[in-house]
Amino acid sequence: MSFGYSVAVLGATGMVGRTMLQVLEERRFPVSRLVALASEKSVGQTIEFNHRTYRVAAPSAESFKHVDIALFSAGASTSKIWAAVAAEQGAVVIDNSSAFRMDEGVPLVVPEVNAEKIFINGRAASIIANPNCSTIQMVVVLKPLHDRYKIKRVVVSTYQSVTGKGKQGLEALEREIAGEKFETYTHFQPIAFNVVPQVDVFTENGYTKEEMKLVNETKKILGDESIMVSPTTVRVPVYGGHSESVNLEFEREFNIEEVKKLLASSEGVVLKDNPAEQLYPTPIECYGRDEVFVGRVRRDLSQPKSLNLWIVADNLRKGAATNAVQIAEKLVGTLKPKAQLD
């Protein structure tokens, strides 16, 4: 390859990390060199990328010496240790954890919504945060509606896949379905054949950390602190794909057909909405896709200037890996590979 970037993936053996590699390959991202990194327990494992085999190593300062772009998906504590190290070595870090999302100087980016935030004073930010999975899919749909009608209030209930907790979350469901009993459950309660109204731990205000991410990240991404967000996050026994029931209250009146046309023409959004034929998005059909799907578009019967929506997306792809790679794609042509500088 005559042109390409040196790319590191930290957390390369996890569900999101492996999906990042898959998405990089599928979208033909210009990778001239790959550095696969993970925790000590994964060191020595091998991964496949672009028909080559790579051995996984533990992160070190040397790991990032010649790296242009570093995709992180190894948890907040790991990101807090290694993001600054990678940035000091000159890499642009795209971090999928919660470590930096609400830091004032760190852009929180969904490319369809606020790609311009990737750059600060004409240069790529050294650390760019990937939002929470449930926030990403929601704001992709909210952005065009907010621009047209100005959102006052969002009431959202999520139905989140077990893969939101990675391999551990998926294995827990499979083991419970097989009949295993546990003293401490991965999803706080039994998840097989159940619905658990808790994603992450509770905070002092009675909301979970996951719910507060929806509140705070939505405001930051849309650039509007006045938007009120009332969230409830729920874990469901679904293998892949997050779903959301969303109620929006606008400042301006809307026409329902205009709303549908607006959504159908919005970047990254697929409108699937025909109740007469039972057409609406479900996680099964959205699995493996990069778009955000929306349906059940209807006026709220109880409140003026209000709208109900059903939003579904693959949480491992658009909710994590694909969004990170899309951010990296915005750097192509603006970031000069170190190999060309040497």
Query: Out of 51, 146, 187, 242, which one is annotated catalytic?
Result: 242
Q: Can 242 be counted among the known catalytic residues?
A: yes
User: Position of tokens 């509007």?
Assistant: 224
Residue pair 23/130 in contact by the 8 Å Cβ criterion: no
Helix-strand-coil percent breakdown of the chain, rounded to 5? 35, 25, 40
CA distance 35 to 5: 11
Q: Can 286 be counted among the known catalytic residues?
A: no
Q: In terms of Cα–Cα distance, which of 127, 129, 67 is closest to 96?
A: 129
Residue pair 153/219 in contact by the 8 Å Cβ criterion: no
DSSP per residue, 173-218: HHHHHTT---SS-TTSS--TT--BS-SS-B-TTS-BHHHHHHHHHH
CA distance 179 to 171: 12
5-14 burial by CB neighbour count: b if 16+ within 10 A, else e? bbbbbbbbbb
CA distance 165 to 187: 8
Query: Out of 51, 133, 146, 286, which one is annotated catalytic?
Result: 133
Task: Report helix, strand or coil for 322.
Answer: helix
DSSP alpha helix (H) spans, the chain: 15-26, 76-88, 111-114, 133-149, 166-177, 209-222, 256-264, 283-286, 322-331, 338-341
Amino acid at 294: V
Which residues belong to the active site? 133, 242
